[in-house]
Amino acid sequence: MTIKLALIPIIFLVTLLACSVYLFGSDSSYGANQIALLLAACVAAMVGHRVGLSWREVQAGMLEGIAVGLAPILILLAVGMLIGSWILCGTVPAMIYYGVQVLDPGYFYAASAVICAIVAISIGSSWTVAGTLGIGLMGIAASFELSPAITAGAIVSGAYFGDKLSPLSDTTNLAAAVTGVDLFDHVRHMLWTTLPGFGLALIIFAFLGSADASTPSEIAELQLALASEFNIGMHLFLPLLLMLALVFKRVTAFPAIVISALAGAAFALVFQPDTVIKLAGESEHLSRGFALFKGVWISLVSGYASSSDNAFLHELLSKGGMSSMLNTVWLIICALALGGALERTGILTYLLQLALRGVRSAGSLITVIVLTCLGTNVLTADQYISIALPGRMYKDEFERFSLSRLNLSRTLEDSGTLTSALIPWNTCGAYMSATLGVATLSYAPFAFFNLLCPLIAVVYGYMHFGLKPLEPVAADLA
């Protein structure tokens, strides 16, 4: 492998993606980016053939890469079901109805980040927080006529803050395991960068204005429209509480989300029967029982379609369903295929090893790790690979500078975990975009916590601040 060969698919990908964004703008993720990613995978395969690999070998790598993302894809499809059934049963409308009473637009962005952070710490899942509380908060923001991009940025910031610090989080456990450090030592060491990053993010959210927020009369009209379409009550929060309880009890994400979606369907049958039958459409030839069954099924497949005369509410609630996630699934599959091809051909490993040649200090080492994690998130579209691969590659490098591996585990999370949500074709970025209904590149500039933490990590490295030194082994102490 040579540098020229390794860079061919990278330059090809960057060029096509730039053209995609230029030509299609925010619609680039609806097919154009997928073409760019898949063609780049083919170019990587050609490079692999040049270094002695057959197409079957590269294809096997692509399939292995896609296999890594099958669990997130299943979760994504289940979340589509969840959104549809939770709107139909009134859980999301109830969150909006009561949320506009409690949350003031003057501090809405900061409050959203804090709420998501608290829940994410308790359950350890940024995806679950975005797929439950995030949906409601987006609806409340729309009710206040606040920026959906800033709201999504606040939700992502809070969700990833909690996910990053929670001992229940899979990425937190992975970062500790791959570097061989104690889990709780890892969590404590992350406070050095995580607390300042989130504090700065909250300050920025607090200063972002909301002068154009809706008036109380407009909010009252919205609540009246919600109450006319759904039977609103506090009991409709039970599916949300069930979801949080399942995740807190460490039930695997996919079955927990499916169970919660089915709970929403059951609630719809009990508490919103007229709304369910209306969603079923022309069903005169069906008995009431089959009409109810059809309406619930529609919500799981293609989501809820509001019949409200309120144009704003109609647009706000007409969403969800498994079918709404299919474009995102397409994007993830193409991105993971590229990542698998780059890993099987050795291009990714070669580029990582090349990056180490310029390391001369702790600051440059941390900078290289941050850029490596970001690059791996871009090229492999998977946050787990962006933690595991650099973690293995750089595990022994910190000893050269007499530094503990805790600095590595922290940096992996500061960059690998957090930047994954900022890339449109990464599993995390695609999930957040599909769930919150905001393009990744639209909310990314406002995901202040995710943007600040990698920068703080680099600054700490060059200042040699907040870095844990390598502890002497017992033999050295004797």
Least confidently predicted of 121-130, 189-198, 373-382: 121-130
Distant-in-sequence contacts of 145-148, Cβ < 8 A, 24+ apart:
145/212, 145/213, 145/214, 145/218, 146/105, 146/108, 146/109, 146/210, 146/212, 146/213, 147/446, 148/436, 148/437, 148/438, 148/442
Higher pLDDT, 80 or 475: 80
Q: What is the mean pLDDT of the chain?
A: 85
Q: What is the CA radius of gyration of the chain?
A: 23
Evaluate if residue 134 carries a pLDDT over 90: no
Distance CA 15, CA 331 (A): 18
User: pLDDT digit string (tens) for 339-392?
Assistant: 888 889 988 888 877 877 778 888 999 999 999 899 888 887 778 878 877 887
User: pLDDT digit string (tens) for 77-124?
Assistant: 888 898 889 889 998 888 888 877 777 777 889 988 998 898 888 677
pLDDT at 205: 93
Average pLDDT over residues 425-441: 88
Quick one: tokens of 160? 């990833």
Q: If you search the block for the tokens 């991105």, which residue do you land on? A: 335
Distance CA 421, CA 442 (A): 12
pLDDT at 476: 44
Local confidence band at 418 (pLDDT 50, 70, 90 cut-offs): very high
Q: Go through 129-162 and write b for each residue having 16 or more CB atoms within 10 A of its CB, e for each that does not.
A: bbbbbbbbbbbbbbbbbbbbbbbbbbbbbbbbbb
Average pLDDT over residues 452-461: 94
Distance CA 179, CA 149 (A): 35
Distance CA 388, CA 412 (A): 9
pLDDT at 421: 93
Calculate the alpha carbon distances from 244 to 145, 248, 252 in Å: 28, 6, 12
pLDDT at 366: 93
144: phi then psi, degrees, rounded to nearest 5: -80, -5
Cβ burial of 205 (10 Å; 0-12, 13-18, 19+) is buried
Higher pLDDT, 359 or 302: 302
If phi > 0 it is left, if psi is from -120 to 50 it is alpha, else beta; for residue 31 that is left
pLDDT at 417: 92
Q: Is the separation of the CB atoms in 236 and 275 below 8 Å?
A: no
Distance CA 305, CA 211 (A): 31
User: pLDDT digit string (tens) for 308-351?
Assistant: 777 777 877 888 889 988 887 887 788 788 888 888 998 888 88
pLDDT at 133: 81
Evaluate if residue 398 carries a pLDDT over 90: no
